[in-house]
Structures are given as C-alpha cells and as structure tokens.
Amino acid sequence: MPALKKCFHIKGRDFIHAGKASISVQNMLKQLNVAPSLIRRIAVCGYEGEMNAVMHGGDAVFSVEINTDRIVLEISDEGPGIADIDKAKEKGFSTAADEFREMGFGAGMGLPNMENNSDQMIIESEPGKGTVVRMFFETCETSGSQDG
Amino acid sequence: MKLFELAETLEATFICGENRENVGFDKVGASDLMSDILSALSEDGILLTGLATVQVVNTAVIAGVRAIVFVRNKKPNPGVIEMAREHEMPMLTTPYSMFVSCGRLYATGLTGLNGAR
Ligand SMILES: Nc1ncnc2c1ncn2[C@@H]1O[C@H](COP(=O)(O)OP(=O)(O)O)[C@@H](O)[C@H]1O
Ligand SMILES: [Mg+2]
C-alpha cells in the first residue's frame, strides 16, 4: 500500500500559528482510526518538535508519512543548527530566551519528551545550516514510554 | 467529578464550553510548564494553570485534557478564546490562587495525573 504523506510549512517565530501542523496531524490520525495512545505520542512529539523549530530553528517543513507498519514525522528547519546534539538532548538543557519561558516553554524537556514518546528519534544538524529531526513510530505495538 | 461541580468548588466561571459542563474527570494537573503537561498522563484530566497564552490551548488539545482552568482570575485574549471554541476546549477562570485551587480540588478526593494523592 502506498504511503500517505502530508507536508506543512512552518514559519520561524510565528507563535500565532505554531501548533497548527501538529493539531492537523492529530485530527488526520483520528480520522484514520489510529490507536488513541499512539496518536497522543505522535501529537506530543510533533508539537514539541514544531515549537522547537519555531523557537530555536527557523522556517521549517513539517511532514508526516503514514505507512501500514509505521508512521514517520520529520521536521526540517533552516535555522542555526545544534552544535552538540547529545547535550541538547539532556533533560533540563535549554538555551531558550525568557520570551519563550513566558510561554511555558524552555524547561529543556522537549527533546527528552520526543525521545520518550517515539520508538526512535534521529537528529541531523549542521551549525549554520539547519536541523532535521526524524521520529519513527511502529503502528502495531505500543512501545515508547511515558513518565508519570 | 463533573465540570459544573469543579466550577462550584472553585467558584469559577466558564469562559467558553459551558455546554460541556457535564463532562467528567478524576485527575488534575497544575503547571505553567507546557512540557510537564505534555510528558504527564494528562489525557482526560484537567489542566490548572496561571498562564493564559495560545500555547496553553494548543498544549491542552495535543495532550487531550478535558478543560483548562485559569487561576487568579486570568483570562486569555479573545483570539485565544475563539481558538478554544473551535477545538471545543472548555475554559474556566477562578479567583483563587494556584495553591488554594489545588487544595480545594484535592479535598474533594481528586488525584494527580498519575493517580497519586
Ligand atoms: N530545531 C532546533 N534548532 C536549533 N536548536 C535547537 C532545535 N531544537 C532544539 N534545539 C536546542 O536544544 C535545546 C533543548 O531543546 P528542548 O529539549 O526542546 O528544550 P527547550 O525547547 O525547552 O529549550 C534548545 O534549548 C536549543 O538550544
Ligand atoms: Mg523545546
């Protein structure tokens, strides 16, 4: 069966529209009768990734690819990139400005949340060029953990 | 507990979504950090927050919470209220502080998002 793919264009610093792509994907998956727990994991990963692109990255393409056995989210931005990816993934690490903290972000929990809620997360980044975050979700089993 | 009972407990008023006052829930999360809500088991719970931004509504929709309660009489701007209406996300506002709101709800027997008391 051919994959279903949808792309959304995200503007860096556009906090008014940030979140729309993830909510569209959430609705799309509901319509496709995907398991609610899997939809929630994908929505959380998408939204954290979308907010990261808007806050730390820049203009980005957000895409979802739906296959029978797996769903792939890809957020590819043209921002400043991440110099030390392992450091960026540490719980609590954040370079967010106060402006973002006032919106309730910048606790340094986005990448850890994305890693916990996806079956696999791969980040490719080159300083000065941009960042690509890919997250994979198996559709058959409900792995991926959540902290209470 | 139902939303209308929560409104009574917190002397809260509906900003929108009053038609969903019979929606039930049994757990509550209180935070101003969106990632906390996103990482917790927040679906079907209530979100108590002091932050009245567009990101709170998006976070609530993504996390699957049943309603948002703003403490200390906070109220988001009309654009944000309109968005919550579109997503059928009930929003309430209470005069009580975060501390007192949590205490009043806890006293009724509600639990945290992970079921702890
Ligand atoms: N798309 C991105 N482009 C550039 N830097 C990023 C990107 N995503 C994450 N980062 C960096 O990784 C850090 C940690 O990200 P995250 O865990 O989501 O926490 P937060 O967004 O709260 O800062 C960010 O503060 C930022 O320095
Ligand atoms: Mg983040």
Q: Is A110 in the pocket of ligand 1 (CB under 6 A)?
A: yes
The first and second tokens of residue A124, run together, are: 């490719």
Which residue among A11, A48, A50, A52 is best mutated to probe the pocket of ligand 1, counting the most ligand atoms within 8 A of its Cβ?
A52
Q: How confident is the model at residue A141 (pLDDT cuts 50, 70, 90)?
A: low
d(Cα A63, Cα B51) in Å, to the nearest integer?
30
- Across residues A49-75, what is the average pLDDT? 97
Band of pLDDT at residue B104, cut at 50, 70 and 90 = very high
Count of structural domains within chain B? 1
Ligand whose nearest atom lies closest to the CA of A56? 1
- Identify whether B117 is part of a domain: no
What is the CATH classification number for the domain harbouring B85?
Answer: 3.40.1390.20
At B29-86, the pLDDT tens digits run 999 999 999 999 999 999 999 999 999 999 999 999 999 999 999 999 999 999 999 9
Q: Is there a contact between B84 and B16 (Cβ–Cβ < 8 Å)?
A: yes
When the candidates are 3.30.470.10, 3.30.565.10, 3.30.360.10, 3.40.367.20, the CATH number that belongs to A11-138 is: 3.30.565.10
* Contacts across the A-B interface (CB distance below 8 Å): 80
Eight-class DSSP state of A123: E
Q: How far apart are CA A57 and CA A63, in angstroms?
A: 16
Rounded to whole angstroms, the Cα distance separating A116 from A70 reads: 17
pLDDT digits (tens, 9 = 90+) for A78-129: 999 999 999 999 999 999 999 999 999 999 999 999 999 999 999 999 999 9
Give this complex's ipTM: 0.95
Quote the mean pLDDT of chain A: 94
User: How many CB atoms lie under 10 A from the CB of residue A54?
Assistant: 24
Please tell me the distance between residue A53's alpha carbon and the centre of ligand 2 in angstroms. Answer: 8
Chain B residues whose beta carbon lies within 8 Å of the beta carbon of residue A148: 40-41, 113-116
From residue A76, how far is each of A50, A52, A97, A105, A132 by CA, in Å? 10, 11, 22, 20, 4
| pTM to 2 decimal places | 0.95
How far is CA B29 from its chain centroid? 8
A39 pLDDT exceeds 90?
yes
Structural domain includes residue B112:
no
